[in-house]
Amino acid sequence: MAGAHYVELAVTFHLEASHRLPCAPQDSACRRLHGHSWVIDVHVAGAVDMDSGWLLDYHDIEAAWQPVHDALDHQHLNEVEGLSNPTSELLAIWIWDRLAERLEGLLRITVRETCTARCTYFGPGRGKEEAK
């Protein structure tokens, strides 16, 4: 097989955590304390190592995720350092900031707070044209 072969890997993780959004409008239900069964998708991309046959071991993604899980699962997110206003957007950025140093090729983080609502973050400095 000639040339580089690029792939994207994704692993889905689950969290149970509460939050409230203190910056939401006064009449928003999101200002009140509530919880979610959060679903987080971590995507990495890069070239397949043709000797091993993979980009990286899925276990490496799981190992990088574990400290994030430990910090967030069954927590009140507003009490986690750096998450005083834990919107899905800011949670995605918070997660990115912790995984980027551990996962080469981190491509995007998707945070789902309900089965119909999600936010995808593509990393710092990526404008909408680059995120397509």
> Where exactly are the structural domains of the chain?
6-121
Q: Distance (Å, rounded) from C-alpha 23 to C-alpha 26? A: 8
Q: Label residues 37-70 b or e (16+ Cβ within 10 Å = b).
A: ebbbebbbebeeeeeeeebbeeebbeebbeebee
For 6-121, which CATH superfamily applies? 6-pyruvoyl tetrahydropterin synthase/QueD (3.30.479.10)
Mark whether 113 is an active-site residue: yes
Catalytic residue among 8, 16, 74, 79: 74
Which residues are CB-contacts of 98 (< 8 A; sequence separation ≥ 6)?
Answer: 67, 68, 71
Give the pLDDT confidence score for residue 6 in this predicted structure: 97
Give the pLDDT confidence score for residue 125 in this predicted structure: 87
Mark whether 119 is an active-site residue: no
Mark whether 115 is an active-site residue: no
One pLDDT digit (tens) per residue for the chain, 132 residues: 567 999 999 999 999 999 999 999 999 999 999 999 999 999 999 999 999 999 999 999 999 999 999 999 999 999 999 999 999 999 999 999 999 999 999 999 999 999 999 999 999 987 666 555
Which residues are 38's β-sheet partners?
15
CA distances from 31 to 21, 25, 35, 87, 108 (A): 5, 7, 12, 11, 27
